[in-house]
Amino acid sequence: MVMNLPQDAAAEAAETARLVRELADIEAIRQLKHRYCELCDADYDADALAALFTEDAVWDGGPMGSHHGREAIRRFFEGSSTRVAFALHMVLNPQIAIDGDIARARWYLWQPMVYRLPGGEQAWWMSARYDDRCVRTDQGWRFARVEVALKILAPYDRGWGEARQHDVYAALRGASS
């Protein structure tokens, strides 16, 4: 038996289905970002982190470097625990827009962390904005691009009142030379 819904009811059902799918997609992208943060905070599991990205993804961290392709991203994260002894990624204020199988997401990051510097470990503050592009794949949503726009990178003991960003990466580059 075929049931004929009134035209308004059919349109309402289609709109409800569309909204449910959009909300499920938004939640899946939230979970993707939360998993990314969890893995970073658990000593940067490079293989698990790389699996969150598409094969041709880009991770662009500005002064932290730009890495093109899943394998390059994996290698970057593989070395992260040699630079960072502790990190606590807290992302907030998500803005997620879905357009079919592509999504754009913006998050703010607040991160206390400890860098491993040539003179020893040092506590730092980091704040940034993440601009992500995600795509739906056969494995679910994955990052196609993660861009980190630093807002604050300052030693804990000096704060960010005088200078919003300090070049810790110069010291780290010097240690690896």
**Into how many domains does the chain fold?**
1
* Residue 53: Cβ within 10 Å count: 25
- Give the confidence band of 4 by pLDDT, cuts at 50, 70, 90: low
Which residues span the domain enclosing 32?
Answer: 7-176
2 inside domain: no
29 inside domain: yes
Helices (H), 93-136: none
For residue 123, give the DSSP letter: E
> What is the Cα–Cα distance from 24 to 40, expressed in whole angstroms?
24
1 inside domain: no
CATH number at residue 56: 3.10.450.50
90 inside domain: yes
103 inside domain: yes
Alpha carbon separation from 32 to 14, 51, 83, 115, 142 (Å, rounded): 27, 11, 24, 25, 7
48 inside domain: yes
Residues 6+ apart with CB under 8 A from 116: 82, 83, 84, 85
- What is the chain's alpha carbon radius of gyration, rounded to the nearest angstrom? 20
Give exposure, 113-136, as e/b (b: 16+ Cβ within 10 Å).
bebbbeeeebebbbbbebbbbbeb
**Cα 103 to chain center, whole Å?**
13
pTM: 0.87
| pLDDT at residue 177 in the model | 44
How do residues 67-87 score in pLDDT, each as one tens digit? 999 999 999 999 999 999 999
111 inside domain: yes
134 inside domain: yes
How do residues 93-150 score in pLDDT, each as one tens digit? 999 999 999 999 999 999 999 999 999 999 999 999 999 999 999 999 999 999 999 9
How do residues 36-52 score in pLDDT, each as one tens digit? 999 999 999 999 999 99
